[in-house]
Amino acid sequence: MNKDFVGALVLVGVFAIMMATGIQVPLYLETQLHKTRPVATILILGGVALLYIYKYHATALVAGLLSIYLLKTIWVNWPRSYKRQIYLDSSADQARFDPATSIDLQFANGTVTHNLPVLLSKPSFPELLVFPPSAETQKEMNG
């Protein structure tokens, strides 16, 4: 037996184990799905294309059939799952504690400062206007 048919048999075995145990998506693809579904799709189809390019035609055929099952699982079941939304929400929540993205932590670390604006021309009226203004100030401002 050559490597092509051994690889095809291994993939058939993997597919049979996945179907028997009910595993829908392998762990690596699931971690890629947390980022985006197109990345996982490109990885799957790229793997099938590489097998075909390197002349593993039988293995590419079995991988193509397996990819149909995986892609259906990815594009149909995953969007309806709450796991992805929970992952995205927890990632956004954890970003608050990253000093590179949190403005509060940057102010606390002193890596970011805020300088108050400075007026280039001083106003002609008094610096502080007290309420109620005095009779002099009212006469000066209103005429």
Local confidence band at 32 (pLDDT 50, 70, 90 cut-offs):
low
In angstroms, rounded to a whole number, what is the distance separating the alpha carbons of residues 115 and 97?
A: 24
> How many angstroms separate the Cα of 100 from the Cα of each of 67, 88, 93, 109?
38, 18, 14, 11
Mean pLDDT of 20-28: 66
Torsions phi, psi for 26 (to 5 deg): -60, 155
Per-chain mean pLDDT for the chain = 79
Torsions phi, psi for 40 (to 5 deg): -65, -40
Mean pLDDT of 8-29: 75
